[in-house]
Amino acid sequence: MTEPVLQLRALTKSYGGLIVTDNVDLNVLPNEVHALIGPNGAGKSTLIAQIFGEITPDKGAVLWCGEEITRIPVHQRVRKGLARSFQVTSVLPEFTALDNVRLATLASASSNPSAFEVAAANLTATERAQTCLERVGLATRSNARAEALSYGERRHLELAMALALEPRLMLLDEPMAGVGSDESHSLTAVLRDLRQSCAILLVEHDMDVVFALADRVSVLVAGRIVASGSPAEVHEDHEVKRAYFGEEDVW
Amino acid sequence: MRHLEKPVVLDLQRPTNVAARIVGGVRSYAANALLVALLALAPFLFESHIVGSLTRGMIYGMAACAVGFIIRCGGMVSFGHAAYFGLGAYSVLIAQKIGLTEALLIWPIAVLVSAAASLAIGSLSLRTRGVSFIMITLGFAQMVYFVISSVQGLGGADGLGLQARNQIGGVSLESPTRFHFVVLALLLVVFCVLSRVGRSPLGMALAGIRQNERRLKALGYNTTRLQLTAFVLSAAITGLAGALAAEFYLYVSPGLLHWIVSGELLVMATLGGVTALMGGLFGALVLLLAEVLISEFTTYWRMALGPVVIVAVLYLRQGLQPALQKMLGGGRD
């Protein structure tokens, strides 16, 4: 059996009396798309933040290829091959699209950014950034400032930045949030392309997207994983229907 | 090979663009170029007391540019740069007390002392962000102020005079004109360094941190360490400016360490424009010009400072340098 890139072991986090992550076990295999679904407030974003290192769990462990990374800082996790996108679009508004991605390619080129090289003169980084923009379909917008891009374009840009890090696992926190149906189609196509290069842990509300992409689905309710399995299995699971969707089948 | 969207570097390699680039370059740097030309010609054009004011303006301008640099690159508002300014000045005093007279030795020492202090203070202060960072840098600077003003050997609260201006490579700096040119030359070196760093991958990352630090972390940058690097560079430059201030006044007192200096440097940087490389210099010169003009009429010249800053913030937004740049028809630098 292949070793998972990411394993969560009995991860627990609470804020005062509120348990936001309750004994979560989860793993992501290489080249797998693992979708994490659950109602609002289930603790999906908090879980992603713990995997990424922005929030420290109270108990349990995060394992990266078998190695414990529970308490190492964000930037070291990124160096190991973990990347994330944000639920609320998070790009650098004053930079051009190309510069946004170039920051990512420069980061992956060297852990210590040089102070005396001219950034624009690094042709390798520039070319790689351009390739990433092409892959998400933003090549023609590379010289536009990020603040001038449309909302959907910024979502694409965010994926290009994650892609430029050449990660082994991408944490995508609702990549479709707030985009129209046209953009949603093109984003799904981009995600389908991304899964060729890395494993993905996908938090998403849009069930069409989840069913189109996911190999496995886990359902998080009130901080606990209540079901996990293939999309079809999860769809049929009674507990899921009761806890998440009510008794009626809304799918 | 894929078609590239013409990054600027590719344009540079085309000889046909050279002429256009030079014209474009002169236009976009017109305000800076005019100011530097004015400073270079000042000793031939003006009376000595005006030249002296300009020398002083360049010294404070150098420190203000360093303060502006870490706002632009790194998003750090430091309210404690008086510490590095003063430490640079006191380094000159102490060096002279132990018998050194060579500026080429003393000034680098001043730079190192300020850099070392900022490494310690910065690594503690950078555990915080925003308003806490402003207050903690102020707190550390005040500690430096009280410690040094209580050392009797350094003149205590009154300070001490220098015996004479140090020599540079054995050449005397007693002539105000010569000193003026040395300060100008160092200022240009500082601009070259800051401009180069600003365009480097480090500078890009620092500008990114100002816009969205969380995003930069998510790209794998150790943001705190990068900010510390910029903070130390800024303090080192401020230390050099402090050393030059000691040479200029030939007197070193705790006044150079006082938090009012930190405040003035911030005002100069903001007035001139933090988005611009040379903003701090514009701010410092305008402020000193205001001081010279208004103090002809009243000793309460500081009263005019408030309105000047308010008007500048209301009408110039980005600051003086970008406004002048626009007037002269160039782009932003």
State pLDDT tens for residues B158-197.
999 999 999 999 899 999 999 999 999 999 999 999 999 9
Smallest Cα distance from A83 to chain B, Å: 7
B200 touches chain A (CB under 8 A): yes
Strands (E) located in chain B? 160-161, 251-252
Contact residues on chain A for B218, CB-CB shorter than 8 A: 52, 74, 78, 83-84, 86, 90
Q: Give the CB-side neighbour count of residue A118, counting CA atoms within 13 A.
A: 9
Six token digits for residue A171: 């944490």
| Residue B86 forms part of a structural domain | yes
Q: Is the pTM of this model over 0.95?
A: no
Q: How many of the other CB atoms lie within 10 Å of CB of B147?
A: 11
| Residue B37 forms part of a structural domain | no
Instruction: Kindly report the CATH number assigned to the domain that includes residue B68.
Output: 1.10.3470
B197 touches chain A (CB under 8 A): yes
- pLDDT at residue B27 in the model: 65
CB B252 within 8 A of CB B160: yes
| Residue B127 forms part of a structural domain | yes
Smallest Cα distance from A236 to chain B, Å: 37
What is the biggest distance separating any 2 CA atoms in chain A, rounded to whole angstroms? Answer: 63
Tens of pLDDT, residues A199-243:
999 998 888 888 889 999 999 988 999 889 998 888 887 667 666
Distance CA B59, CA B243 (A): 9
According to DSSP, the residues that pair with A67 across neighbouring strands are A64
Q: Quick one: A60 exposed, middle or buried, by C-beta within 10 A (0-12, 13-18, 19+)?
A: middle
| Residue B30 forms part of a structural domain | no
Length of chain B: 333
- Give how many domains chain B has, as a whole number: 1
Which domains are present in chain A? 6-92+168-245 (3.40.50.300)
- Of all residues in chain B, the one with the smallest CA distance to A77 is B220
| Cross-chain Cβ contact A122/B201 below 8 Å | yes
| Residue B312 forms part of a structural domain | yes
- Of all residues in chain A, the one with the smallest CA distance to B192 is A116
| Residue B332 forms part of a structural domain | no
| Residue B219 forms part of a structural domain | yes
Pick B54 or A236 by higher pLDDT: B54
Residue among A33, A25, A160 at smallest CA distance from A90: A160
Six token digits for residue B301: 């010249």
Residue from the list A78, A98, A119 with its beta carbon closest to the beta carbon of B220: A78
Alpha-helical (H) ranges within A30-135 are 44-52, 74-80, 97-109, 123-135
Smallest Cα distance from B67 to chain A, Å: 18
B14 touches chain A (CB under 8 A): no
| Residue B286 forms part of a structural domain | yes
Distance CA A129, CA A124 (A): 8
Can you tell me the ipTM of this complex? 0.90
CB A109 within 8 A of CB A124: yes
